[in-house]
Amino acid sequence: MSGRVIVVGLGAGDPAQITPQVAQAIDLATDVMGYIPYIDRITPKQGVRLHPSDNRVEIERAEHALTLAQAGRIVLIVSSGDPGVFAMAAALFEALEKNLRKWQDIDIEILPGITAMLAAAALVGAPLGHDFCVINLSDNLKPWSIIEKRLLGAVEADFAMAFYNPRSKSRPEGFEKTLKLLQSLCEPDRPVIFARAVTTKEETVQIVPICKANAEMADMRTLVIVGSSQTRIIKQNKQKWIYTPRSYPDTDIQ
């Protein structure tokens, strides 16, 4: 009899942000698999098998989960943040689509989590309060030309922008090109938020105008938010808040 695959998001880092729904799924699991740092966030329990693996084997991990579920196991695949945002939910369906007939009867459930983007935005106010877009700056699975096209479109449409995976050690040039492009197109005082390791003990937040942003401010644990032309900074006592108004001026975007 086939079992279940449950793909969950563990939130940005703070255990308090794991949803009750995800906590219940963790208690149900017979097997838990995921990237090593995410597995480390799961408390080992008797009778539950942990399957840590590298972050470059997402499809293999998904296939392993489906195979175990086919044997009747209840398999939990863990992601950080939300599993549907640049994470394991899409990888699972990629694996499933390759062999739908084989895994036709497996019960699949995707449970949402709090993303780094939302956690970072909450720290500084509401920079995503109006229309925004989210771009993964890693060119590991897509060419830089696609990233550049999307950046140009986002600026032209005047979206606030959230960037995942901005700057890896092996490919630091991508974020450098991103900043140069944005600095050439955006007004110099547009706010940029560098939120690293949000909701963890290592959390740091930097807010700078885009003219002073540099690539060294980010790494792969950093979530970067760039405001739209309408994003504002206000001060309340000693607190600095950043927000993007819900309304938009009745003028054409040039």
pLDDT (tens digit, 9 = 90+) per residue, 162-190?
Answer: 999 998 777 778 899 999 999 999 999 99
- Select from 125, 181, 127 the least CA-distant residue to 154: 181
Residue 48 lies in a domain: yes
State whether 122 and 203 are in the same domain: yes
Q: Which of 73, 88, 114 finishes a domain?
A: 114
Q: How does pLDDT run across 226-236, given as a tens digit for each residue? A: 999 999 999 99
The one-letter amino acid code at 91 reads A
Domain region containing 174? 117-243
pLDDT value, residue 185 = 97
Give me 234's structure tokens: 């206000």
pLDDT value, residue 110 = 98
Q: How confident is the model at residue 241 (pLDDT cuts 50, 70, 90)?
A: very high
Residue 251 lies in a domain: no
Please count the structural domains in the chain.
Answer: 2
Question: Is pLDDT at 254 greater than 60 in this prediction?
Answer: no
Q: How far apart are CA 28 and CA 74, in angstroms?
A: 7
- Cα of 13 vs its chain's centroid, Å: 12
Q: Is the pTM of this model over 0.95?
A: no
Question: Is pLDDT at 136 greater than 70 in this prediction?
Answer: yes
Q: How confident is the model at residue 1 (pLDDT cuts 50, 70, 90)?
A: low
State whether 128 and 218 are in the same domain: yes
State whether 136 and 234 are in the same domain: yes
State whether 96 and 19 are in the same domain: yes
Q: Which of 114, 140, 156 finishes a domain?
A: 114
Q: Which of 114, 134, 162 finishes a domain?
A: 114
pLDDT value, residue 93 = 97
The one-letter amino acid code at 156 reads E
State whether 126 and 78 are in the same domain: no
